[in-house]
């Protein structure tokens, strides 16, 4: 199961997330998204866990948990097309 992890402190690394979620089961992959220009964390990432029961337990235990003064937002990741929102991106005005 793929898990969205939001509101993470900018200092948190993929190794930190791996260790945090590893307490609940086997972590298949872990990524903290970074800004392309600055290389700084964007404050969210994704963790993929092999076992759904372990993933659900991690979600229920870690959602709202304080990490370096920030309350984590942890839930099942949604496929890109189902996230809602809208958009068209950034408006560019070339006058």
* Domain locations along the chain: 2-77
**DSSP helix, strand, coil percent of the chain (3-state; round to 5):** 25, 30, 45
Model pLDDT, residue 83: 53
Residue 14 clears pLDDT 80, i.e. is over it: yes
Could you report the per-residue pLDDT of 23-70, keeping only the tens digit for each?
Answer: 999 999 999 999 999 999 999 999 999 999 999 999 999 999 999 999
Model pLDDT, residue 75: 97
- Residues 74 and 3: beta-carbon distance below 8 Å: yes
- Residues 50 and 26: beta-carbon distance below 8 Å: yes
**Whole-angstrom Cα distance, residue 79 to residue 73?**
17
CATH superfamily, with its number, for domain 2-77? RRM (RNA recognition motif) domain (3.30.70.330)
CA angle 83–86–87, rounded 5-degree value = 130
CA angle 53–55–60, rounded 5-degree value = 95
Residue 2 clears pLDDT 80, i.e. is over it: yes
């Amino acid at each position: 199961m793929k898990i969205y992890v939001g509101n993470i402190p900018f200092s948190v690394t993929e190794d930190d997330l791996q260790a945090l979620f590893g307490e609940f089961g086997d972590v298949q992959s872990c990524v903290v998204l970074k800004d392309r220009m600055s290389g700084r964390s964007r404050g969210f990432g994704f963790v993929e866990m092999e076992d759904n029961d372990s993933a659900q337990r991690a979600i229920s235990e870690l959602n709202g948990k304080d990490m370096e003064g920030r309350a984590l937002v942890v839930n099942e990741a949604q496929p890109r097309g189902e996230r809602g929102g809208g958009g068209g991106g950034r408006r560019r005005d070339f006058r």
